[in-house]
Amino acid sequence: MQLSVPTLIVADVYVMSLVALLMFLAWRSGRREPTLGYLCLSLALGVVATVLGALRNMGIDWVPIVLGNSLLVLALAFNWTAMRVFAGRPPHWRGIVVAPLVWAGLCLFPAFFAADALWLRIATMSVFTVAYIGLAMVELWRSRQVIQVSLRPALALMAVHIAVYTLRIPLDHGQPFEVSGEFDFFALVIFETMLYAVGIAFVTLAMVRERAELEYRQASLSDPLTGIGNRRAFVEHGERLLLRCRNAGQQVTLLLCDLDQFKRLNDTLGHKAGDHALISFGQVMKSRMRRQDVFGRIGGEEFACLLADADARVAQDVAERIRSEFANLPFSPSGVLSVSIGMSDTARVDYNLDRLMGEADRALYEAKAAGRNCVRVAG
């Protein structure tokens, strides 16, 4: 097999230019996602570096060796930056510029710039490539729990790229060698780099789109004022919790909470005070919930929570703590605001969310009729 290096360079420049343009359009047409912007910059720099690298043996070797390779290292740095920004971290500008400056500084030494030092330059560039791609992999891996998107395609692509450039150090001396015929390892590097550029662009687009969809879904399940789950989230997660606890034979208790005299609070102190009351109650409830519990704001001043593996005694203790903590908050004027809580459990109505809500609502009505600021159990 024989790969034509000049042909591959032309194809590489064309394909990378097209991918860079597509990445730019994706960046412009969306929310100006910085990940796409940095990756577009990386691809564009790679195109310029490849064009400059093709000017070797034309009497201006400083252009491809110094300028072209410095831009190539800078392209690698922005590839790392794209993954770093996607992982939620800011650009590391010192880390971006240090390697290109090191390369330019090494070119000042005749032992590095000379024609017979080609292997040394190949090995140095390979080390920079492995280092920056490795850093990109680390950025994604360390933030995998936060990112919550599929990272395997990107990590696999980067691992292959690292493997190729690691093999390049001992195998590519800038001269053809025999592998089932005349074969130039540099041609393989150009071909693999072109495939990597296409692959990382589309994989990154897929990751950005997947994360945007997750964010939209989370926003649709979150109450914008209190930051906790809304009614839709409570129903979705609550149904799954009830099914899981039924299969495990665990009792579930529902607390239905309604802020007392909320309309009066809004009328006397204003809607800002009302919003503050809702936020504060959400924080009180959140502080009392465990990871396995489900809670959310299901109406204007109405909240609900499902306590997993909790009998009536344990749930009533939790309800009393919520009621007491909220009543003792410093912002609440005495006698103006409190919470009434109605309780129901699966021991009475089985694992049916609608029936639990109905029973708890009747218990809540009893708490209101009893003077508010109290807890009542269904039945």
Question: Which are the catalytic amino acids?
Answer: 301
Locate 379 and state its tokens.
Answer: 């039945």
DSSP string, 17-33: HHHHHHHHHHHHHTT--
Tell me how far CA of residue 227 lies from CA of 47, 280, 319, in angstroms.
45, 11, 21
Residues 6+ apart with CB under 8 A from 48: 68, 71
Rounded to an integer, what is the distance from CA 106 to the centroid of its chain?
A: 38
Strand partners, 260: 338
Locate 142 and state its tokens.
Answer: 């360390």
DSSP string, 273-322: HHHHHHHHHHHHHHHH--TT-EEEE-SSSEEEEEEET--HHHHHHHHHHH
Rounded to an integer, what is the distance from CA 135 to the centroid of its chain?
A: 17
Note whether 318 and 310 are within 8 A (CB): yes
DSSP string, 223-283: -TTTSSB-HHHHHHHHHHHHHHHHHHT--EEEEEEEEETHHHHHHHH-HHHHHHHHHHHHH
Q: Identity (one letter) of the amino acid at 298? A: I
Orientation angle between helical segments 34-53 and 69-86, nearest 10 degrees: 170
